[in-house]
Chains A and B, each alone.
Chain A
């Protein structure tokens, strides 16, 4: 079936089988491979994208269901080729990852958290990432990264608008 999806601010006209998950659609039909396949049953969170600014699991949604909403992927929050956002840079500063597989999802979850809560407590951060499994880090340096990103965003000379 033909669908129109608003992905990273661009309308994409796509022809997919109705049963195609949003995750498979993004990866196989649009070529955005930053969302990763982990469990395909909605537990690990590796496939997270922003759906009207809210972090959701793209493996649990059919692509046609996403029509009419704004979808933001990791590619959409990356400022430019080779250029990192404040949040991405903070993940590098604390080494908030190892293998990098869950990382784009963690960055998006951090992004969604900081849209609503510019000054999160440690518990807020733990809650925000609790739906995303990381097997490498034990989460400590991810928590550090998000706290650092929040601090840097709050201290920015000019307010940084986070894409919804």
Chain B
């Protein structure tokens, strides 16, 4: 629990310091960074779902105005190493440009470098590539079950991962349960699709042996991966972290883009810039998210108590894999959601297909898993004729049962799920919503109530890597902060990664201000480049409030201790008697006996003779923080403590569907949210609201749909539909606060909040609305067109008396 009993700055409604530059259009995004003599890249992409590259004729393109170079996959493959992958799959190499075989429509085959992007695009059209189309596979089940078509011949199958974990007495619990239920749930391929596409400028300086990289990046170990792939020392890669990233939510990984531009800049001797256009981004940016098929089976009793669950999750990762299959691992940390399910069998399967490569998406596989769990809870209630809220209350972990260890080995730190639900229904009556729903039904509308409860595991140690690939021994995911008090007493703190809207500068300032009792606005926060940086796991896995906030807290605490030690020594008192008060230190027994902030700065910076023996002069401290619950590798059964903190959210919504239109309209949206102590209320509210909107998109609108020829048919914002202000309802957030015992202020993660539960709530509401027609759907997104057809068919059947 926090050492600070009453907060000065934490939890107060303070402005977000980053906002000032953004409202004036003065953010520094990668497109805004113009290095002298920069040349531009455009890409030639494969038009087939799979094809052998027979020949590439660059001659006409090379004659086009402004063209400097045309790079193909053969040259690049000879000069670089394949990109880092998460699983142990050496025969599934991934490279920036297709080499010999292209494996999805839109894959990058040739890169054209010209004076301007327009000239590069013109020349790209003149590159003539002869392809021999190959058989392809799009469907995950087909890829899993048949070896007739192999995406990577040398790998011998399409399966990258197939691991089954059994935690607890699953067979016994199934045998002992009077009731069972099976459900198949499909999460369609969508992603976070930031409004800024990925961009990078790479600039090689041969006289300093230095590759300067400016990129819109959110990627752990980015500099390592670039150096390794380019076969240059990582000390020759300087990633600039002071680049504003125009949205990411997981996907701005950009490793292939950066290796490509890094190679070109080294080869050609000038800075090379690649800013994806929207087509390059949607087809070949390798930024698709999960496409997952769940087969769930649960064993329960007549009271609706769910005792055991079997889940198979089949992930269609696309043509190549980086970290994306690990998205089957994160859900292990909350595999039973907020429920007391005693035993679980979990089979995680990842297959390659001829679709665009995936990367990490907000929640890292947790949001799809929550849809599977929450759809199942609804169906358990339905078959028993019990209320869906009541079923959840009965199965949920109670407040007095924390800390609570789930079958897969993670101990949930804290929570009060029933209290959150009680608060939500006190705000908006559940029974009242039923009356409202039923009134809509009597008016000829379809209407449904959606419920979803789920956890947000946050701040983890990435042991899912070791769980799914025993060759990887990851049990830490650090973050760090360095605090320096300068010779006139001003404070500068560092953070060591980029941000994409999470307000990390505000977080660092607030944490340090709280410890040192100094106005956070007076604390400068800077981002050194990667060669000057301490370790950072980057803003993934809802971790920065816990890990960066924690690192800033600890670094500041070290300085506070040093200031008190200096003061006690100078005052000639034992340090136990020294009292710290807003930067000044006084003697508890004689408060007028004191040293001011400036006195202490003077001593530390200039008067070594007044420092305690052996103390380093100056006032600087660093902290590299380990995940609060530590790091141990999974045991033989795959049990592991992954995430130190679990935030909780409960969604309650009312949806209306006009049966003639099939268009769902969310009339009411309530969310009860508990992420422990809120550090900045504005930021947490924004994360939650944005997450809900993103989840509504995944549930109703957004899908990277493919046709039978393997062509991506949602390549623009005309067909990949993003929720506008009209599609996002007026959401009411009901706050609750159960502090985490493991974190410095009691905070938990909130970067994935809203998104983890809203798709499940929407899916459950629509199914409740469809119930009177005797139909249901478990395939997301539930598109207006599908819904309209389903309703029309059901009504026709009904009128025929079927």
Interface, chain A (partner B; CB < 8 A)? 17, 19, 27, 32-41, 43-44, 46, 73-75, 78, 84, 88-89, 91-95, 97-104, 107, 122, 126-127, 129-143
Chain B 1-58 interface residues, beta-carbon cutoff 8 Å to A: 15-16, 18-27, 29, 31-32
- Indicate whether B335 reaches chain A with its CB closer than 8 angstroms: no
Task: State which residues 691-748 of B face A: CB under 8 Å.
Answer: 691-694, 716-718, 722, 724-726, 728, 730-731
- Chain B residues within an 8 Å CB radius of A35: 25
A139 and B728 CA atoms in complex are apart in Å by 8
Q: Which of A27, A92, A101, A140 contacts B247 (CB 8 A)?
A: A101
Alpha-carbon separation in the docked complex, A23 to B338 (Å): 49
Inside 8 A of B20's CB, which chain A residues have their CB?
84, 92
Could you say which of A41, A78, A97, A130 contacts B716, with CB atoms under 8 Å apart? A41
A136 touches B716 (CB 8 A): no
Whether the pair A91, B23 counts as a contact (CB closer than 8 A) is yes
Interface size on B, residues (CB 8 A): 57
Given known contacts A130-B724, A137-B686, A99 and B500 CB-to-CB distance under 8 angstroms: yes
Instruction: Return B36 CB to nearest CB of chain A, in Å.
Output: 14
Q: Check A136 against B725 for contact (C-beta < 8 Å).
A: no
Chain A residues, Cβ within 8 Å of B248:
99
Residue of B nearest to A79 (CB): B24
A41's partner among B15, B244, B503, B717 (CB-CB below 8 A) is: B717
CA gap between A73 and B724 in the complex, in Å: 23
A97, A101, A126, A138: which contacts B194 (Cβ < 8 A)?
A101
Contacts of A122 in B (CB 8 A): 730
Across the two chains, which residue of chain A brings its CB closest to B245?
A99
Given A98-B501, A126-B726: A37 and B31 interface contact (C-beta under 8 Å): yes
A127 to B727, CA, bound (A): 11
Q: What mask results when residues 108 to 126 of chain B are scored 1 for a CB within 8 Å of chain A, else 0?
A: 0000000000100000000
Alpha-carbon distance A34/B28, docked complex (angstroms)? 10
Q: Which 8 A-B pairs have the closest CB atoms?
A: A34-B25, A100-B22, A98-B501, A99-B501, A101-B246, A138-B693, A138-B689, A43-B717
Q: Is the CB of A137 within 8 A of B22?
A: no
Q: In the bound complex, do residue B16 and residue A95 qualify as a contact, i.e. CB atoms below 8 Å apart?
A: yes
Q: Which of B22, B193, B245, B275 contacts A103 (CB 8 A)?
A: B22
Given A39-B716, A91-B23, A97-B23, 16 extra CB contacts under 8 A: A17-B118, A33-B25, A37-B31, A37-B275, A38-B195, A41-B717, A44-B722, A73-B25, A75-B25, A89-B23, A98-B687, A99-B500, A100-B27, A135-B694, A140-B689, A141-B685
Among A27, A34, A36, contact of B246 (Cβ-Cβ < 8 Å)? A36
Chain A's nearest CB lies how many Å from the CB of B204? 24
**Contact yes or no, A74 B195, CB < 8 A:** no
Does B479 reach chain A (CB closer than 8 Å)?
no
Alpha-carbon distance between A140 and B728 when the two chains are bound, in angstroms = 9
Question: B339 at interface (Cβ–Cβ under 8 A)?
Answer: no
Minimum distance in angstroms from B771 CB to a CB of chain A: 28
A37-B31, A137-B689 known; A99+B247 contact, CB < 8 A: yes
**Interface contact A88-B24, CB-CB below 8 Å:** yes
- Closest B residue to A19 by beta carbon equals B118
B463: min CB distance to chain A, Å:
29
Q: How far is the CB of B117 from chain A (nearest CB, A)?
A: 9
A135–B118 CB distance below 8 A: no
Q: Chain B: residues with CB nearer than 8 A to chain A?
A: 15-16, 18-27, 29, 31-32, 118, 192-197, 244-249, 275, 277-278, 500-503, 682-683, 685-687, 689-694, 716-718, 722, 724-726, 728, 730-731, 754
Contact of A141 among B196, B686, B716 (CB under 8 A): B686
For A95, the chain B residues whose CB sits under 8 A away are 15-16, 19, 682-683, 685-686
In angstroms, Cα B32 to Cα A74, docked, is 15
Q: Given A95-B682, A98-B501, A141-B682, does the pair A129, B21 have CB atoms closer than 8 Å?
A: no
**What separation, in Å, do the CA atoms of A58 and B610 have in the docked complex?**
64
Q: Tell me the complex Cα distance, A123–B610, Å.
A: 66
A138 to B669, CA, bound (A): 13
Nearest Cβ on chain B to A32's Cβ, whole angstroms: 8
Q: Assuming the A-B contacts A137-B686, A137-B689, A140-B731, are A40 and B29 also in contact, with contact meaning beta carbons closer than 8 angstroms in the complex? A: no
Residues in B whose Cβ lies below 8 Å from that of A104: 22-25
Report the minimum CB–CB distance from B14 to chain A (whole Å).
10
CA distance A40 to B717 in the complex (A): 10
Taking a contact as CB atoms under 8 Å apart, the answer to whether A43 and B24 are in contact is: no
A144 CB → nearest B CB, Å: 10
Asked if B23 contacts A136 (CB within 8 A), the reply is no
Pick the contact of B193 from A98, A107, A131, A135 — CB < 8 Å?
A135
Closest to B500 in A: A99
Residue of A nearest to B20 (CB): A92
Set of chain A residues within 8 Å of B18, measured between Cβ atoms: 100
What is the CB-to-nearest-CB distance from B650 to chain A, in angstroms, rounded to a whole number? 18
Alpha-carbon separation in the docked complex, A50 to B32 (Å)? 21
Q: A100 vs B500: C-alpha distance in the bound complex, in angstroms?
A: 9
Per the bound structure, the CA–CA distance linking A19 and B245 in Å amounts to 29
- Residue in contact with A38 in the complex, picked from B19, B27, B196, B754, CB distance below 8 Å: B196
Chain A residues contacting B689 (CB-CB under 8 Å) are: 137-141
Cα distance, A19 to B117, chains bound together (Å): 13
Q: List 10 A-B contacts (CB under 8 A).
A: A34-B25, A97-B23, A99-B500, A100-B22, A100-B244, A104-B22, A130-B724, A138-B690, A139-B693, A140-B731
Task: List the B residue with the shortest CB-CB distance to A100.
Answer: B22
**Interchain CA distance A39-B278 in the complex, whole Å:** 5
**A44 touching B717 by the CB < 8 A rule?**
yes
> Given that A136-B247, A141-B685 are known contacts, is A98 also in contact with B690, CB under 8 Å in the complex?
yes
Partner of A36, one of B196, B501, B687, B691: B196
Report whether A36 and B690 are in contact in the complex, using a CB–CB cutoff of 8 Å.
no
Known: A35-B25, A41-B717. A93 touches B686 (CB 8 A): no
Chain B, Cβ-Cβ closest to A128:
B725
| Cβ A101 vs Cβ B27 within 8 A | yes
CB-defined contacts of B277 to chain A, threshold 8 Å: 40
Q: Which of A78, A92, A95 has the most CB of B within 10 A?
A: A95
Known: A40-B278, A41-B717, A141-B685. Is A99-B194 also a contact (CB below 8 A)? yes
User: A102–B29 Cα gap in the complex (Å)?
Assistant: 12
A138 to B689, CA, bound (A): 5
Instruction: Tell me how far the C-beta of B791 lies from the nearest C-beta in chain A, rounded to whole angstroms.
Output: 26
